[in-house]
Amino acid sequence: MENQEKILIIFDMDHTIIDLNTDSELIKIMEKKCPKKINELLYTDNWALYMNEVMDLMNREGFAISEIKSFIESLELNIGFKDLFDFINQNINKFEVIIFSGCNTIFVEWIIRYRQLDNLIYKYYSNLAEYTSDGRIAIHIFTTENPF
């Protein structure tokens, strides 16, 4: 049997697989709950560092990781993606799917698992995120020296 090459498909997460931007939606929640505090956060030129500050604020304001997870999982797939993923699943031997996203690894993983895409997604690259001992999510910048 001839070895058939797979077609590589690369997706972004926010505004591609997911209709909205995961980070921006969390910021909107914080703008409603504590507008002054969210506006005091300093955004420099690095979105991942800014989102780390947002995660710190969410933790200080009493948001549990489980609440954040439920919210992220509730975000809808963009129009047509359910059908596209069904097609890819039916032809899984023809495709290799990766995600390359400015989101973070925890959010990407939550969405992949919740949407039952584990078997479709070969690999994903994003800003590294981890759970901390004090019950929050820490986000680290993705670099080629520290890809995770």
Q: Where are the domains of the chain?
A: 7-140
What pLDDT score does 48 carry?
85
Are residues 107 and 116 in contact, defined by beta-carbon separation less than 8 angstroms?
no
The average pLDDT across 105-120 equals 96
Q: What is the pLDDT of residue 3?
A: 64
64 contact partners, CB below 8 Å, separation of at least 6: 135
Angle between helices 22-33 and 65-74 (to 10 degrees): 120
Other Cβ atoms closer than 10 A to 23 = 22
Q: Give the pLDDT score at 2.
A: 54
Q: What is the pLDDT of residue 148?
A: 47
Q: What is the CATH number of domain 7-140?
A: 3.40.50.1000
Instruction: Read off the pTM.
Output: 0.89
Query: Is it the case that residue 107 has pLDDT exceeding 70?
Result: yes
Question: What does the pLDDT look like over 7-64, one tens digit per residue?
Answer: 999 999 999 999 999 999 999 999 999 999 998 887 778 888 899 999 999 999 999 9
Distance CA 83, CA 57 (A): 37
* Residues above pLDDT 70, as percent of the chain: 93
3-state secondary structure of 47: helix
